[in-house]
Chain A
């Protein structure tokens, strides 16, 4: 998939972007993704199972994430859990979305709409 094709998929929803970010740190199962998303957004993005798996299904179909055949530690883990990994394509999409958001933030900074730390 070329960059222009991926650009058409932007902007990502905050939930989708948060999932990709959560997976950037390493392979995770559903509940860990859910917790990580809540943490990284200070509770602003709260996913519930329906939305989470709705998005994971779409990302699997698009090849943004892959499901792992093996669990990191089968002995310590529930066998019903499935782990997901960010694919190269998913990383590219997340990167493009991050750039898009950064340019918006820069535009807001230029117009004095973003307070510097401590202000």
Chain B
């Protein structure tokens, strides 16, 4: 026959068991109540009321920390499930690039920043009034940058076109477009500026004796829809890094900061495994660039009255651009979900 103290202990412990998370309670509460019951009776038989009181002291401590531990585990589990299912983390099957490859992908951004710096500060070879063409082609910082990008593109094609190759391809295409109507040291360049890019493609095909790199390139374009955002990013990255007509006394610092900011955006793009994270990284990079361009507003302070503030125009433009990128990311996400559903 149970004493009132034992009956009271059982009732109280059953109540305390109600504070465990539901799943734990359903699974173990019955057993725990029974173990506690057996413990109480053994303790009471051995040491009476004082034994029971000592047991309760230990049980209250045991109950407190295990209730907290079980709720903590449950919350951590829910959080990790939420992270896995979050729209931000949903993958489109394009894995994050390893660090070494990401460095290669970001390199053209840094090289372009360096060439801008060299061009603005005059840190390049100076020529006579009419230098020969080969001197211009190899000595001008931007043209030198283009050769380096083409070398990178050639290496990537020879390696079967790993994903970092898209960074070099995007910069090479941008350069072809940009310099096909550009003059330097008395020379005017036109459509022939596309020839080096074409030459690299042909050379890679000849050396590899296979069209596999080009097939990989095309397949990657189809698989990674956010490359469209990346192409737009490269276009505007080059515009932000050029600092045309800017005479800010702190120009080198601005160029370095913009280069690093845009490089960081590109780094985030290649390191992310979900399309939304990729486009958000690019939007972040552009955001940093526009922030820096606002800081260099001092350069525009001599504009005529009534001229629209170029920074405001820039902010609106980048905002629209960011929305386009976000749309591109969402579209890539929608497509991957659709493909997932199609798999039986």
Contact = CB atoms under 8 A, between A and B. Distances in A.
Contacts of B34: 30-31, 78, 80-81
Contacts of B28: 53, 56-57
B67 A50 contact: yes
A49 B36 contact: yes
Contacts of A94: none
Interface string B29-48: 01110111011000000000
Interface in B280-339: none
A49 B62 contact: yes
A2 interface: no
B246 interface: no
Interface in A49-89: 49-54, 56-57, 78, 80-82
B63 interface: yes
Q: Count chain A CB atoms within 10 A of each CB in B28, B35, B39 and give the residue with the most.
A: B35
A56 B30 CA distance: 14
Given A31-B39, A34-B39, A48 B31 contact: no
B62 A48 contact: yes
Interface string B58-101: 11001101110110000000000000000000000000000000
Nearest to B59: A48
B24 interface: yes
Q: Count chain B CB atoms within 10 A of each CB in A31, A80, A81, A82 and give the residue with the most.
A: A31
B250 interface: no
A50 B31 contact: no
A30 B31 contact: yes
Contact of A49 (B24, B35, B69): B35
A49 B59 contact: yes
B69 A54 contact: yes
Contacts of A51: 62, 66
A33 to B, nearest CB: 9
B31 A53 contact: yes
Contacts of B30: 80
A31 B38 contact: yes
Interface in A16-58: 29-31, 34, 46, 48-54, 56-57
A56 B62 CA distance: 15
Q: Count chain A CB atoms within 10 A of each CB in B34, B58, B70 and give the residue with the most.
A: B34
Contacts of A46: 58
Contacts of A56: 28
A53 B21 CA distance: 13
B38 A50 contact: no
Interface in B181-234: none
Nearest to B58: A48
B15 interface: no
B66 A81 contact: no
B341 interface: no
Nearest to B66: A50
Given A31-B38, A54-B66, A54-B70, A49 B27 contact: no
Nearest to B37: A31
Given A31-B38, A49-B59, A50-B63, A80 B31 contact: yes
A81 B69 contact: no
Given A49-B36, A53-B24, A53-B31, 10 more contacts: A30-B34, A30-B35, A48-B59, A49-B32, A50-B62, A50-B65, A50-B66, A50-B67, A54-B66, A80-B34
19 contacts: A31-B35, A34-B39, A48-B58, A49-B32, A49-B35, A49-B36, A50-B32, A50-B59, A50-B65, A50-B66, A51-B62, A51-B66, A52-B32, A53-B66, A54-B66, A54-B69, A54-B70, A56-B28, A80-B34
Interface of B: 24, 27-28, 30-32, 34-36, 38-39, 58-59, 62-63, 65-67, 69-70
**The 8 residue pairs across chains A and B that have the minimum distance between CB atoms:** A50-B66, A48-B62, A50-B62, A49-B32, A53-B28, A30-B35, A31-B38, A49-B35
Interface of A: 29-31, 34, 46, 48-54, 56-57, 78, 80-82
